Structure formats: C-alpha cells, structure tokens
Structure 1
Amino acid sequence: MFFTVESSARLHLGFYTISGGHTAYGSIGVAIEKPRVTVQVRRSDEVEVRNLTQVRVEGDVAEVVKSLGLPGAEVGVLEAIPRHVGLGSTTQIRLSLAYALSRAYGMDWSVRKLAFTLGRGWVSGIGVAAFERGGFILDSGRTVRGGRVQEPKSCDDLPKIVYRTPLPEDWYFVVAVPKGIRGLDEREERPALEAPKTDRKLECELHEAVLTGMLPALARGDAEVFGKALTKVQRLVGRYFSRWQGGEFCCWETEEFVEAMLRGGAYGAGQSSWGPTAYGLVEGEESAKRLLENVRRSAERIGVEAEIFMTRARNGGFSFSLAGT
C-alpha cells in the first residue's frame, strides 16, 4: 500500500513585527498552488529512494526516517520544490515525507508534532501552517527573552496561526525565480535572527501597513490597496535585513524583477523570504498573463535566466491518499 501526500510552495511576504516586547518575527505568508511536492511511501526494512525530480531529496528522506525512528522506507518523489530560493522547500518536502510515513507506520502524530520533531517551524510558522491549512496566514511569531529569540521546547512553542483566510480565487501571483542564485539557508540566517533590534518607528510602520492596509483590504477583496500595503511591508523588512543580504533585496536580479512587476501593472511586489524568488500580485487571469509576458521580456532584456510562472493561492492544506499494493 502506497501512502501519497501532495503539498506545494509558500511565499513568505514579510513580518508584521520584527521585535515588539516579548514577540519577534510575526510572519505573513501565503500558500501557492505551484511548484508542488508529491511523495509516495510505503514501509520497508531499508531506505530506498526513487527520485523523479532534479531536486536533491535523499538527505531529507534519511533525516525524516532517522527523526521518526523508523527502520526504513520505500520512497518515491514525483515532484519537488527548488531548494534555497525562498519557496519553503525543506519544510514542505520533510513534512510531506513525515506525514506519509507516520501514516504508513500507524503513528498518530499531529502535523505540529511532526514539525517540532523535524525542527521545522522553529524560525517561522508560515510553512507549517501553509502545509496544514493553506491560504493567507499571519503567525504568532517567536518568543523573546532577554533580547534573544528562544528556541521552542515543545510543539506548543512553535508559532501558531493568529489569522488565516483564503485569498480570492481571481488574485494571481506572477513568480520569477532567477537561476543560479540561492538565498540564505537556516545556518546562514541565524546571526540575522537571533537578537532582533527594536525600532519603534519601524514597528509602527509595519503595524499600520498590515492592520490598516493589508487586512482590511483583504476583507473587502481590494487587491490594489492590499498590494500597495504589501509592497510597503516588503520595503520596510528589506531595509531592516539589508546588512545581512547586501541591500533591500538579496541580489540585483531580484530587484530588477520586483521593479519589472510593478512597472508591468502588479498591485504589489516583493521578495519571498531570503530570495531570490520575486513575485507580483494582480487581479484576474488576463492581467496575470499580461504581467507574465512583461516579466519574461524584462528577463530577456537584462539577460537573466529565470523560471517565470503564474499561480494562485492554495486555499487548502495538503492532500493525503492511499493507492495500490
């Protein structure tokens, strides 16, 4: 019997707080329909991996099998998300594998327990929440004591969903992933995140953009106002992290794509996580197609090779199924 799990990427849209009192890095994000993860597993006394993608996943399989204390697993990876480009690949592949294997071995573990065991969701709760429920998400951030971010001691300490709602079906993201560039990984990002700096002006600007811009606009279905507020959040967060990523964006290629999105009619645009993925928000499929072509022409003009596509929010969580023998 094969146990199959399907999930997909997420865009990390920034923070509504960097450091406010006892909370740091309250995250904003959205699950998107692609790129996707699809894994099939069944019980085995050995670890066997059949990888049909160009993404290296063997280390993820070994880590999940070890963390769950399993004797082995037969694993097929049919789809995977590119690594270290700001799309949340590690959380999605490992949670997909872990959930499928936990069911195959009769382990009645929650998604959050699996996440804690695997060390996922320790930095941001968006990836775990996107896997479990999808949609647009604000999480509860990280706990701060003595000016330093605390590591979770149990799954109860992982960031929780503060707000979650579906995005309108006619809101589209155009996504550009420059090739040959990688964002910071979890080891490299640690110095940037372990001791957040309190900046009251920055906090007020972020709160205003999210609480009086993004959230009311989303409730009204106003993509234009939502997008403007999103762009503001992205600029503010980018400036805060500029000392670690070398500027407001991780690289000039990402900055070019963000500007191309805005010139091409996107209501809002930014960099997902540490990049290099850039995205732009529009309303309506035809608008998305026009923006897609504009961004592709911009890529040709500046000589940057990139994967460029359009997608919508994935407003539900992962899927699970059984098949065959």
Structure 2
Amino acid sequence: MRAEVETGSRLHGGFYYAAGDWNVRWGSIGFYVDNPKFRAAVELSDREQYRGPQELLEYVKKAAKVAGVQGFNVEVHESPPIHRGFGTGTQVLLSLYMAFKALKGEQPEAVEEAALKLGRSRHSGAGTLAFKYGGFVMDAGLPGRPTPLVTLKMPSEWRFVIIIPKIERGLTDEEEESIMEKRQWGNSESNIAFMTSGALRLAAGIARGDLDDALEGLRFVQRGTGILFASVQGGEYRGKLNDLAAEAWRSRVILAQSSWGPAMYTIVENEYEAQGDVMLMKEIMSNVGLSGEVIISPPRNYGASIKIVG
C-alpha cells in the first residue's frame, strides 16, 4: 500500500491579538494557497528510505517517530522551500503523520491534537487550521488546542501574487521558539485595537468578496504585528523587506510579510491582474536592489489530502 499526500502552503497574515490581558497570548490569521504544493508518496518499510530535499528529512523522521513507524519509504515530488514563510514544516509533519497512521491501519487523532503531539501550533494555529479547512482561517487564540474562530472560503477568482526575494531565510523552529518564549512580550491597548479591527475588516471583506476592504484589513493586521516585532526584525518588516514594502506602496500595492519571510504577497482580483503584477513585482524588487522569484497562486479552499492507493 502507498499513500499519496498533497498540501497547499500557509501564508501567515499576522496576529490579530498578542500578549495582552485576555486568557490567550496569541491569536493568528492565515491563508491556504494552492502553490507552492507539498506532494509525496509514502510507504511503510523495514528501513528508512528517503528521496527529496535534505532539509525536510528531519521532519520525515519526526513524523515517523511520533506515529510509531520503524521504517519508511518517502519520495517527495515537490515542496515549498523551508523557512521561507510558507509554513512548510507544519504541512510536511501533519501530512506524513496522517499518512503513516493510515498505512498502519490506525485512526489518527483530530488534526488539532496531532499538531500538538508533533510540537506545532505553539504560537500560531493558522497552519494547522489551514491544513484542515483551507481558505482563510483565524484561530481562537493560543496556547492550547488550536480552535477555529473563523473559517471562510475565499473568492475562487482571487489570486495571490507571491514574491520570494533572494535574501536570508526566515527563522528556524528553534530560533523562533527562542524569541517567542524568552521575550516578555507587551502590547499596547491601541495597537491591539488596531490589529483586531484590521482582522475583522479583513474577514468581512473576504466574506463579502470586497478585495479593497480585505486588503485594508490585512494592512492593519500587518502593521500592528510589525510594530510588535519591530525590535526583533528591525522594523515593521524584516530587514530589506521594509524597503520592498515601502517601494510597493509607492505603486499603491499592499505587500504582506508571511511569518518571518522572506515571502511577501498581495491579493488581486483575478488571473489577468495577477499576470500584470508579476512584472511590477520584479521591477519593485529591482528598484530596491533585490532579485527573486514571483509566483501566482489561487486560494486553496479545501485542506490537505491523504489518499491510500494500491
């Protein structure tokens, strides 16, 4: 028997709530996009066999260990880059864990419980909930079991234009953990209000199919999140991404930073507009001395798939 797994990628929208006086510390939002994908074929084996990017092997081994699998044969067909803002670690871990459990003939836990067993969703539940529901997600706050506050299907004609600049990768899991756990985060009431009102406007814009409102809401969430993390990342965005966001705004393009980046993205009305924005995004990168890749993705309004074949 073989399992075929496919996931989308999570683009992080930021935090709508962080480190105030609620009974949660973090409340996050995210989008599930169809590209880039993670696709792999998975089999049980009497030894460890792996073909794919070396940087993913630790996640394959962890998923196998937690699932109680002694050996495996995993072939990765395609994958998003790791630590680039796509939530790849969570997608790989959850999809392979679910595949291993299915191949063993065992009923897996709910996705939310599996994520905790795998050490995910410590600070953001967006990747876990996107894996399960797709579309647009808001968690109900962490720590604890990731629980959906809002799940919405996105207008299918909308497109994400995603920039992947050639700069240093985002934080590893260990680096992020060190920052998020060891710092004593504080947040002003005014900034929390800014973030939460932005998230409400974003969700309402998606529900009504109003892209202008959705983007304005995303801009508010991003600004509030950036203010919170400015002392860590050197501004509202990380490093050179500050220049990229500022240059894009001169063309009235709202760019959002996904997690620690370097992936940045905007949302446009349709495929035609997205094709036109690719050249603009490349020009914007060039204007600030950066190069990189620009990709287009539709929203993925459904979660990951694990299919048993053979």
The verdict on a shared fold, with TM-score over 0.5 as the criterion, is yes
Q: Is the 8 A contact 1:261 1:279 kept in 2?
A: no
Equivalents in 2 of 1:136, 1:303: separation in Å?
Answer: 33
CA distance in 2, matches of 1:302, 1:229: 26
Taking a change above 3 Å as real, the CA distance of residues 198 and 248 of structure 1, as seen in their structure-2 partners, is: closer
Paired position in structure 2 for 1:58: 57
Distance apart, 1:265 and its partner CA: 5.0
Shift of 1:163: 0.6
- Partners of 1:183 and 1:286 lie apart in 2 by 31
Q: Is the 8 A contact 2:59 2:92 kept in 1?
A: yes
- State the partner residue of 1:129: 129
Question: Which position in structure 1 is the counterpart of 2:242?
Answer: 255
Q: Tell me what 2:86 maps to.
A: 87
State the partner residue of 2:215: 227
Deviation string 1:139-176 (CA, Å, 9 cap, x unpaired) is 01114xxxxxxxxxxxxx32211110111112211111
Q: What is the CA–CA distance in structure 1 between the aligned matches of 2:159 and 2:239, rounded to whole Å? A: 24
Q: Name the counterpart of 1:203.
A: 192
- Whether the 8 Å CA contact 1:36–1:79 is kept in 2: the answer is yes
Can you give the 5+ residue segments of structure 1 that lack an aligned partner in the other structure? 144-156
The CA deviation string for residues 245-289 of structure 1, in whole angstroms up to 9 with x for no partner, is 12111121x2333334444453x3210011111111211221111
- Structure 1 residue matching 2:10: 3-state secondary structure: strand
Alignment-mate amino acid for residue 126 of structure 1: A
- Between the aligned partners of 2:203 and 2:8, the Cα distance in structure 1 is 24
Residue in 1 that maps onto 2:30: 29
The corresponding residue for 1:292 is: 278
Aligned-residue CA RMSD in angstroms? 1.7
Deviation at 1:79, TM superposition (A): 1.1
- The residue aligned with 2:100 is 101
1:3 touches 1:42 (CA, 8 Å); kept in 2?
yes
Query: Which amino acid counterpart does residue 193 of structure 2 have in structure 1?
Result: C
- Tell me, yes or no, if the aligned pair for 1:257 and 1:278 is still in contact at 8 Å: no
Is the contact made by 1:261 and 1:291 (CA closer than 8 Å) also made in structure 2? no
| 2:261 is equivalent to residue 275 of structure 1 | yes
Moved more, 309-318 or 171-180: 171-180
Contact residue 95 and residue 306 of structure 2 kept, 8 A: no
Give CA-to-partner distance per residue, 1:110-166, whole Å, 9 cap, x none: 2223212211122211111111111100001114xxxxxxxxxxxxx3221111011
Answering whether residue 230 of structure 2 is matched by residue 242 of structure 1, we say yes
Equivalents in 1 of 2:178, 2:309: separation in Å?
A: 45
Segment of structure 1 superposing worse, 256-265 or 28-37: 256-265
Alignment match, 1:154: none
Letter in 2 for 1:36: K
Alignment deviations for residues 223-252 of structure 1 (CA, whole Å, 9 cap, x no partner) = 011101211211121011011112111121
2:291 to 302, 305, 308: 305
Distance in 2 between residues matched to 1:184 and 1:27, nearest whole Å: 18
Contact 2:113 2:145 in 1 (8 A): no
Find the aligned partners of 1:231 and 1:133 in 2 and give their Cα distance: 24
Query: Aligned partners of 2:54, 2:126: CA distance in 1, in Å?
Result: 22
Go from structure 1 to structure 2 and tell me whether the alpha carbon gap of 1:36 and 1:313 turns closer, same or farther (over 3 Å shift): same
Aligned twin of 1:186 = 173
Query: How many Å separate the matches in 2 of 1:135 and 1:163?
Result: 10
- SS of 1:142 mapped into structure 2: coil
- Between the aligned partners of 2:195 and 2:112, the Cα distance in structure 1 is 28
Structure 1 segments of 4 or more deviating over 3 A? 259-266, 300-303
Q: 1:149 corresponds to which residue? A: none
Distance 2:259 2:118 in 1: 20
TM-score, normalization by structure 2: 0.93
Residue-by-residue CA offset, 1:49-79 (whole Å, 9 max, x unaligned): 122xx46222112112222221111111111
Q: Could you tell me the TM-score, scaled by structure 1's length?
A: 0.89
Q: Distance in 2 between matches of 1:55 and 1:309?
A: 23
Residues 176 and 257, structure 1, Cα contact 8 Å, conserved in 2: no
